[in-house]
């Protein structure tokens, strides 16, 4: 069987963040509620001229610069913070990256889950067409009402993955465990900028979906728990990963080793939730922050999307994978960010939404190569600063 998987992966997150200690001070609560209780230190904040398209293009650019665009004939864009009900966000990214016009391009949605079916579809496609590559991008802005229980779990980021029949980082296994149920744990009707959610209930349904997907993975002939070296979870906040890992070990009647999941939480602790990108940020964090060489080791991944869907699948780390990571770039990106004061956070949060037909020129703030310059005549104008 043809091996398929991730040839390379790269992430991007905006240059500004809010320290959760700042939020705790403002709310008059113990900062440990955030640092220990939910396991988060910082939340990334997009500027006025950044959105899912600019973050996606920033995440994908290093892949194109290093591996070229030859063979890419499909862009799959996963998001739950879409900017248009009709046009796929990936079409803007396709133009910004200068990809071939002979390309299919589509957006996928199912809460935080949709990058996983995108990855699976991409692997199936390149198995059929090993001369082709697929660009899978997950990009989201996690935004909750201020003073809601979700406020400390905001964040923003994008992960881009080059999927091919020459995986240089991870080979994706063919077996998945699947679970789907119709529930209202977290959702965002079209007329709302922020989601509605039942926080505690959502964490319980997440854990239930994990066990159901794991059982299905086992029933389908998946690997045994002890075959896995690392586990990666969808991380709405890093403590959810700890809860998930404890729950899975108990369900599998296996000894708990939290070190198997901790490296995957490092980046997420300082970025916050990035919805569809979150599990792939955790995967990047696992690969880049595990001191041990993971070559040949198996990683178990659990992807969750409220509403709800869950998928457990496995990946095997390819020898030489470290040569295909962007570790230095990612660490510099996180290190060079700036903390904002509470009032600046509020003014970013309160930035008015575009009004029908109104002209909007956006302040030049983005530190990356791409920015949303304006919205004129209901059309979004993106700029490549290097063009």
Q: Closest separation between CB of residue 275 and ligand CAA, Å?
A: 6
Minimum CB distance to ligand CAA smaller for 238 or for 286: 238
Hey, how many other C-beta atoms are within 10 angstroms of the C-beta on 212?
Answer: 18
Q: Does residue 113 belong to the site contacting ligand CAA (CB under 6 A)?
A: no
Smallest gap, in angstroms, from Cβ of residue 386 to ligand CAA?
A: 33
The answer to whether 174 contacts ligand CAA (rule: CB under 6 A) is: no
- Of 114 and 306, which CB lies nearer to ligand CAA in the complex structure? 306
Sign of CA dihedral 138, 144, 146, 151: negative
CB 156 within 8 A of CB 142: yes
- Give min distance, CB of 356 to ligand CAA, in A: 29
Of the two residues 78 and 99, which places its CB atom closer to ligand CAA in the complex? Answer: 78
Site string for ligand CAA, 265-304 (x = CB under 6 A): --------x-x----------------------------x
Task: Take residue 80 and report the two structure tokens written for it.
Answer: 């739950």
C-alpha torsion sign, points 377, 378, 383, 387: negative
Helices (H) and strands (E) in the chain, counts: 12, 17
Q: Phi/psi class of residue 272: alpha, beta or left (left: φ > 0; alpha: ψ in -120 to 50)?
A: left
Taking residues 25 to 64 in sequence order and writing x for each that binds ligand CAA by CB under 6 A, - otherwise, the string is: -----x-xx--xxx--------------------------
The runs of H, that is alpha helices, within 98-198 are 115-128
105 or 202, CB closer to ligand CAA?
A: 202
Residues from 232 through 251 that contact ligand CAA (CB under 6 A): 234, 236-237, 240
Rounded Cα gap, residues 57 and 159, in angstroms: 10
Task: Give the full edge-to-edge strand order of the sheet including 72-78.
Answer: 104-108, 72-78, 133-142, 155-164, 5-12, 170-180, 309-317, 298-305, 228-233
Among 186, 228, 321, 370, binds ligand CAA (CB under 6 A): 186
- From 195-203, 245-253, 289-297, 356-364, span contacting ligand CAA (CB under 6 A): 195-203
How many amino acids of this chain bind ligand CAA (CB under 6 A)?
26
Shortest Cβ 247–ligand CAA spacing (Å): 12
Backbone angles phi, psi at 198, to 5 degrees: -115, 90
Residue of the chain from 27, 95, 124, 203 that contacts ligand CAA (CB under 6 A): 203
Q: Where are the beta strands (DSSP E) in 234-308?
A: 298-305
The structure tokens listed for 384 are: 């490549």
- 202 belongs to the binding site for ligand CAA (CB under 6 A): yes
- The answer to whether the CB of 24 falls within 8 A of the CB of 343 is no
Instruction: Point out the catalytic residue in the list 7, 50, 58, 80.
Output: 80
| Residue 112 within binding range of ligand CAA, rule CB under 6 A | yes
E-strand stretches of 32-71? 42-45
Q: Which one of the spans 62-70, 127-135, 197-205, 211-219 is the region binding ligand CAA (CB under 6 A)?
A: 197-205
- Which of 71, 150, 155, 177 is the binder for ligand CAA (CB under 6 A)? 150
Nearer to ligand CAA, 99 or 138 (CB): 138
List 81, 139, 153, 276, residue binding ligand CAA (CB under 6 A): 153
- Choose the catalytic residue: 94, 234, 324, 330: 234
Which is closer to ligand CAA, CB of 76 or CB of 308? 308
| Contact range with ligand CAA by CB under 6 A, out of 59-67, 202-210, 354-362, 370-378 | 202-210
**CA pair distance 306, 241, nearest whole angstrom:** 16
**Residue 180 falls in the annotated catalytic set:** no
Q: Please count the other Cβ atoms lying within 10 Å of the Cβ belonging to residue 153.
A: 24
Contact 227, 173 (CB under 8 A): no
19 upstream amide cis, omega within 30 of 0: no
CB of 330: closest distance to ligand CAA in angstroms?
A: 21
Instruction: Catalogue the long-range contacts made by 189-196 (C-beta closer than 8 Å, 24 or more residues apart).
Output: 190/85, 193/143, 193/353, 194/143, 194/144, 194/145, 194/148, 195/144, 195/150
Judged by the rule CB under 6 A, the positions of this chain that interact with ligand CAA are 30, 32-33, 36-38, 112, 149-150, 153, 185-186, 197, 199-200, 202-203, 206, 234, 236-237, 240, 273, 275, 304, 306
Q: Which residues are catalytic?
A: 80, 112, 234
């Amino acid at each position: 069987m043809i091996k398929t998987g991730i040839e390379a992966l790269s992430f991007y997150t905006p240059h500004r963040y809010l320290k959760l200690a700042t939020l705790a001070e403002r709310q008059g609560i113990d900062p440990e509620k955030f640092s220990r209780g939910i396991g988060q230190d910082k939340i990334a904040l997009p500027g006025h001229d950044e959105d899912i398209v600019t973050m996606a293009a920033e995440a994908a650019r290093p892949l194109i610069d290093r591996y070229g665009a030859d063979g890419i004939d499909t862009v799959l864009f996963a998001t739950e913070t879409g900017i248009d009900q009709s046009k796929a966000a990936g079409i803007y990214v396709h133009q910004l990256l200068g990809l071939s016009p002979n390309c299919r391009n589509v957006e996928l949605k199912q809460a935080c889950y949709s990058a996983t079916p995108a990855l699976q579809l991409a692997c199936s496609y390149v198995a059929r067409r090993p001369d082709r590559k697929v660009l899978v991008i997950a990009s989201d802005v996690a935004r909750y009402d201020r003073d809601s229980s979700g406020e400390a779990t905001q964040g923003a980021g994008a992960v881009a993955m080059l999927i091919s029949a020459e995986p240089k980082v991870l080979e994706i296994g063919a077996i998945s465990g699947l679970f789907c149920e119709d529930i209202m744990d977290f959702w965002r009707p079209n007329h709302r900028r922020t989601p509605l959610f039942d926080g505690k209930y959502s964490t319980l349904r997440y854990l239930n979906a994990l066990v159901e997907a794991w059982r299905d993975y086992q029933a389908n002939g998946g690997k045994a728990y002890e075959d896995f070296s690392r586990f990666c979870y969808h991380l709405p906040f890093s403590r959810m990963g700890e809860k998930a890992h404890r729950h899975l070990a108990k369900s599998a009647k296996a000894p708990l080793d939290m070190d198997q999941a901790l490296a995957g939480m490092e980046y997420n602790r300082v970025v916050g939730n990035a919805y569809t990108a979150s599990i792939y940020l955790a995967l990047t964090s696992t690969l880049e922050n595990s001191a041990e060489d993971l070559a040949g080791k198996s990683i178990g991944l659990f992807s969750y999307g409220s509403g709800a869907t869950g998928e457990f699948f496995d990946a095997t780390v390819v020898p030489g994978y470290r040569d295909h990571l962007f570790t230095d770039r990612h660490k510099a990106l996180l290190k060079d960010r700036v903390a904002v004061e509470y009032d600046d956070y509020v003014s970013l949060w309160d930035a008015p939404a575009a009004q029908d037909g109104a002209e909007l020129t956006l302040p030049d703030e983005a530190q990356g190569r791409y920015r949303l310059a304006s919205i004129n005549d209901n059309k979004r104008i993106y700029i490549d600063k290097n063009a």
